[in-house]
Amino acid sequence: MIGVDNKYKKPIEDILNHLKDKTIEIQAIYDTQENLI
């Protein structure tokens, strides 16, 4: 059970970190567009 958990834990963390980075990028783009208006 622990072997399976460790096997999938890292990829899930990578995906969550990737989504967090994308969310920050998108938020920055929206902030920039609001400033241009």
Domain residues for the domain of 16 are 1-30
Tell me how far apart the alpha carbons of residues 21 and 18 are, in angstroms, rounded to a whole number. 5
Dump pLDDT digits (tens) for 1-37. 566 677 778 888 999 999 999 999 999 999 888 877 6
Number of domains in the chain: 1
Residue 3's pLDDT is 66
Assigned domain for 1 exists? yes
What is the reported pTM?
0.54
Query: Does residue 35 sit within a domain?
Result: no
The pLDDT value given to residue 28: 93
Instruction: Establish if 26 belongs to a structural domain.
Output: yes
What pLDDT, on the 0 to 100 scale, is given for residue 2?
A: 62
pLDDT for residue 26: 93
Residue 6 covered by a domain: yes
Q: Give the integer Cα–Cα distance in Å for 15 and 28.
A: 20
Q: Say if 37 falls within a structural domain.
A: no
